[in-house]
Amino acid sequence: MKPQEREHLEECLANVKSFVKIWLDFYLTFRRSYLGEPVTPECEASFLRLKSEVAQRHQYLYDQLERHYIGGAVITDLLRAVVNLEKIAKTQSENYYKVEKNWHQFYLNLHDTVTSIQFRLEQEDQQT
């Protein structure tokens, strides 16, 4: 593996790991809203900024990782379903659990992406 490729993979790994944290914050925020936490204008604005960051980071990872970004295409539909906190607070349970299931599936995909990149790096280390 060329040093540039290794550096790229290490950067990708760091970016995916930091995105996992943002993805978890995104979930916890909309989950609290669904469970009845009051939706204030400040909370809504903060959530929309977080949602925007998720979308931007997702696009960056999609461009950066290409085929190594496992299940990346699913997130767009999920972001459309989670319009804002007020809508989530009023969502019927069947619809909410579909959103939560999709969130969780993508969360697992992010961990699979991390594992895949780590495996490639470890394989390279064993060959040198």
Mean pLDDT of 51-61: 94
| pLDDT the model gives residue 127 | 82
3-127 maps to which CATH number? 1.20.120
* Helices 3-34, 41-65: inter-axial angle, 10-degree rounding: 150
- Which residue in this structure is represented by tokens 């790096």? 121
| pLDDT the model gives residue 7 | 94
pLDDT(72) > 80: no
Q: How confident is the model at residue 128 (pLDDT cuts 50, 70, 90)?
A: low
Question: Which of 96 and 127 is assigned the larger pLDDT?
Answer: 96
For 101, residues 6+ apart whose C-beta sits below 8 A from its C-beta are: none
6-37: per-residue pLDDT in tens? 999 999 999 999 999 999 999 999 999 999 99
First-last CA distance in the chain: 9
Asked whether 110 and 19 are in contact (CB, 8 A), the reply is: yes
Give the number of other CB atoms < 10 A from CB of residue 99.
19
CA nearest 116: which of 29, 17, 23? 17
Q: Under DSSP, is residue 84 helix (H, G, I), strand (E, B) or coil?
A: coil
* Helices 3-34, 93-127: inter-axial angle, 10-degree rounding: 160
